[in-house]
Structure 1
Amino acid sequence: MEEASSCSLNSTTLFQQEDAKGITYRIPALLYIPPSCTFLAFAEKRSTVKDEDALYLVLRRGVMRGRSVQWGPLQPLLEATLPGHRTMNPCPVWEQNTGRVYLFFLCVQAHVTERCQIMWGKNACRLCFLCSEDAGCSWGEVKDLTEEVIGSEVKHWATFAVGPGHGIQLQSGRLIIPAYAYYISHWFFCFPCSVKPHSLMIYSDDLGVTWHHGKFIGPQKTGECQVAEVTGRAGNPVLYCSARTPNRFRAEAFSCDCGDYFQKPTLNPQLREPRYGCQGSVVSFRPLKMPDIRQDPSGKDSPTTQKYPLLDSSLEAEEGAGRWLFYSHPTSKKHRLNLGIYCNRNPLEVTCWSCPWILRYGPCGYSDLAVVEEQGLLACLFECGKEHGYEQIDFCLFSDQEVLSCDDCTSPMN
């Protein structure tokens, strides 16, 4: 891989660990609401760094002022709680017709770990959401959707989760919340003997009134995921999914039916996973300036690339669509280090990801991207630190041109 470029921008710390073994903020989720030029930045507040010590969600609201953001104080989201449960995995989505914000999350029994649920095959999670009518200034009552969305199938789900990160609304109006579940395919007496994680989508076709879930993405193991809408054959919408795996590389999959069913995922050797994997974020972005994607920065023709099956990725269709993919993830293949921003200017091609532009050197972790298209900007909310990747959660604004500011970042990775 070619040498990466580094971000020279200043970031803003929104959530800070209070002491080395105490209060910690993890699992960022970021949402931008265009009409009010408002950012909603979410995180989990934990009594320690451990997942089982999550407490409740917290929120900071930010308002765009030119090319900067004015942030309000930290607010606890105590509405997003169930008695006897801890709250985890914020996953917000904005519904543009009604202006509502839906905040999905998990409520997990007491200190029951994910490992314990998988080992015994006994789910301890509830699928919940809140709704805000005023861009996150106030929130309604918590609603438990577990029975509506999963129902009797939950006996085959050792555990599940949403996001973490953001959901999206498709051109069709469908709302999508990315999720994953540990599915039990075989039992031996009272013990699950075959449990595998699979990504899937939770969706609503009636502006958030009712919710359902799609089919599992497989057969490979896929976990935490995010999705973005791109354009396929004859301008038809295609849903792109980027999923965490334990297999050293990121899994990518496409859906031609708005997320109900995905084609078999493919591991992409350009997008490395550290040991055990890490969550990553993806957004679809329409740049203000559209370069000629037929050539690389040196003026030579772009290399021939392999196409995904059943999808038409002609240059004419892509130029008409004019949407790129941006992806954030640690760049090291061994550890959670050096958070990178990758760009794919031809989203349906296997080998068109740029080399990473390093947003933050050093320890890092989970991240979430958002788009401010009216200004040609992207935003990232990400875990980072000096010694560990969970010391703080920072926010940074940047442009697509900054990501593509040097030749190293605009040529395909080796």
Structure 2
Amino acid sequence: MEPSKPSSRAAYIQQSVRRSGRPQPYLQLEVQVMSVGKPPTTTLDSPTFGAATAMAGASLESPRVPSGPMGAPSGQHVMLRRSSSLSSSSYVAPTVSLPPPEEFAGGDTDRKAGSASEAPRRESLSPSKRSRRESGGAASASSTSTGTATVRAAPDPSPSLDEAEEESVEGLGSPKKRPSLGKRESGAAVAERAAAAASAPPSITIVDMFTPGMLRVNVFRIPSLLPLPSGVVLSFAEARPQLVDHGVINIVMRRSTDAGRTWGLARVCVEGAMVGGAAKFTVGNPTAVYDKTTKLIWLLFCTNHAADAEWMIHAREGRDTRRVWITSSADEGLHWTVPAEITASVKLPGWTWYATGPGAGIQLTSGRLLIPSNHAGDVYEPNCPYLASTQRSRMVAHVIYSDDHGATWHIGGVAAKHTNECTISQLGDRRVLLNARDWSGRFLRAVQLSSDDGASWQKHRYDRELIEPRPQGCQGSMLCVPPPEGRAGPGILFFCNPSSDRREMLTIRRSDDGGMTWSRSYCLEEGPSAYSCLGRTADGALACLYERADRISFAKIPSHVDGPLGVF
């Protein structure tokens, strides 16, 4: 018997909730936000990011993260869901220093009109907000705006000042009566309230990292986050002149030395002149990894000619192909080596499109550096082709690796067909988990395991709880916190992606059984949101660098027994 089709968008969302078995309802939390200006209403619908962003000026100064306790939560939160024989490349690269931020132009400042084929802007409302609007009923919890993020807050049962004044009875010509302020609290009550505040979970903080106008750049996309054991945190992103994925694009970065509490100025890390000379290049897909043995940071990225759109590279009609590069830093991101090309080692001749990450790589317990990647094969593909007119070009995820601390790189295991951007983590039992964006039309995340450090992958499955936006999914990020030393188990796994049929409701989930089930979830951003990168700071907090409307923001979620994702 065919299932009935939902009659409305709200019914579709409700049906999806029933199928995936998500818990109810929302956890009430206090979130502190610092923003460099309120973002306009912007849609991040796939496959494009949405309408053009506003060019409001923004300060380069890092917003200060506020401090203070968060109210204790009530209720339980829950959301809505081969190896290669190719020769290796080896090199010794000189080191170059980054000039001061003010010396960089920060990308092509020529603003071009958006493509006529761009999806029209539409109002971005989370499923919960749309259902409330359609029903016309009032929600039990009021929605308040703090900075630029929407925060759910329980209604205050006490009357407001205006209500108290309205309830007072005034005689003709008598002065207005002041509302009663109640009795003074006793010392015991004050002490009790202070103790409750001290035991409450610490605040979740959200800071805008890259906003339109910084470095005279119109658009920032594709975040990559790398926390280091020393407390240094590096955040990377693409700086674009316009919303499309090609054009003169550079990689920019910001650096924190105190686990993400304060940040230095934004500066260009890699630009086209470093890899293409006088030619204009797209430089993107930043993917960073830290080698704990050598204390080197490796940043992998891809390039193509600035005039080549992605479909042209798939069809082999571009001016150049996609190329893969690496650069490294020995001083925690202050200076970077001249980029070196490794395309011949990690890309097969039959592959057209290629992309590293985006996001972050990992170092396995064996010492191997492992980088998530994806490619398009120039093969006949009648089902779900990228180029529908020719029915060619098959999307597939894979990994690349280095066993000599970044000196040479090789192709690792290739994932299942119709997978795309992927994220990887090593579980506590040393198996490697790959979680990939779906290109098969199922709109569910594809999951695979490896027992040989990513050299091959077991048969894939689709996680019914991890739904994806339509029509072509979205990137996601993953992080595994290993179990304490001496204890067995898979560790604590976190996963983040937009948990909706649109690019909105960015949700972080927690699993205590290696991703087989998801025990907790927290909606970090109800509004327009897309790509993300998870990390864990030196002070033990969960960090997320993510696309939020027209900007990229950094969120820090402390570990706490009463926190949204518990203790980790």
* Structure 2 residue 512 is matched with structure 1 residue 345: yes
Change (3 A) 1:13 1:124: same
* Structure 2 residue 268 is matched with structure 1 residue 76: yes
1:231 is aligned to 428
2:290 is aligned to 94
Change (3 A) 1:22 1:170: closer
Residue number among 551, 556, 559 corresponding to 1:397 in the alignment: 556
Change (3 A) 1:185 1:43: same
2:27 is aligned to 5
| Alpha-carbon distance in structure 1 between the residues aligned to 2:409 and 2:242 | 33
1:135 is aligned to 332
Q: Deviations over 1:228-269 (max 9, x none)?
A: 00134xxxx100011001321011100011001111211101
Residue number among 518, 531, 534 corresponding to 1:366 in the alignment: 531
Larger radius of gyration: 2
| Alpha-carbon distance in structure 1 between the residues aligned to 2:377 and 2:448 | 19
> What CA RMSD, in Å, does the superposition of the two structures yield over aligned residues?
2.6
The aligned amino acid for 2:261 is V
Residue number among 158, 162, 165 corresponding to 2:356 in the alignment: 162
1:195 is aligned to 393
TM superposition shift of 1:79: 5.6
Match of 1:223, SS state, is strand
Change (3 A) 1:119 1:72: same
Residue number among 211, 218, 235 corresponding to 1:23 in the alignment: 218
The aligned amino acid for 2:415 is I
* Structure 2 residue 450 is matched with structure 1 residue 283: no
| Alpha-carbon distance in structure 2 between the residues aligned to 1:6 and 1:134 | 41
1:244 is aligned to 437
| Alpha-carbon distance in structure 2 between the residues aligned to 1:49 and 1:216 | 30
Q: Deviations over 1:138-183 (max 9, x none)?
A: 0011100001222xx22x1121100000001000000011100101
* Structure 2 residue 411 is matched with structure 1 residue 208: no
| Alpha-carbon distance in structure 2 between the residues aligned to 1:242 and 1:51 | 23
| Alpha-carbon distance in structure 1 between the residues aligned to 2:473 and 2:391 | 23
2:454 is aligned to 259
Q: Deviations over 1:182-231 (max 9, x none)?
A: 0123499xx9643211111110001111100113211x311101100013
Structure 1 unaligned blocks of 5 or more: 291-316, 386-390
| Alpha-carbon distance in structure 2 between the residues aligned to 1:230 and 1:6 | 31
Change (3 A) 1:22 1:397: closer
Match of 1:375, SS state, is coil
Change (3 A) 1:405 1:33: closer
| Alpha-carbon distance in structure 2 between the residues aligned to 1:338 and 1:187 | 32
2:375 is aligned to 181
Change (3 A) 1:171 1:405: same
Is 1:184–1:192's contact at 8 Å kept on the other side of the alignment? no
Is 2:235–2:253's contact at 8 Å kept on the other side of the alignment? yes
TM superposition shift of 1:27: 0.3
2:314 is aligned to 118
Change (3 A) 1:121 1:258: farther
Match of 2:257, SS state, is strand
Structure 2 unaligned blocks of 5 or more: 1-21, 32-203, 383-388
Match of 2:554, SS state, is strand
Match of 1:70, SS state, is coil
Q: Deviations over 1:331-379 (max 9, x none)?
A: 11x20111111011110x53x113520112211010000113x533110
1:147 is aligned to 344
Is 2:240–2:247's contact at 8 Å kept on the other side of the alignment? yes
The aligned amino acid for 1:397 is K
Structure-2-length-normalised TM-score: 0.59
| Alpha-carbon distance in structure 2 between the residues aligned to 1:207 and 1:261 | 21
Is 1:121–1:192's contact at 8 Å kept on the other side of the alignment? no
The aligned amino acid for 1:231 is G
Change (3 A) 1:6 1:89: farther
| Alpha-carbon distance in structure 2 between the residues aligned to 1:90 and 1:6 | 35
The structure whose residues are more often strand, as a share, is: 1
TM superposition shift of 1:383: 0.5
Residue number among 90, 107, 131 corresponding to 2:303 in the alignment: 107
Structure-1-length-normalised TM-score: 0.80
Match of 1:10, SS state, is strand
Match of 1:49, SS state, is coil
Match of 1:147, SS state, is helix
1:321-360 superposed matches below 5 A: 321=489, 323-332=491-500, 334-347=501-514, 350=516, 352-360=517-525
Identity %: 29
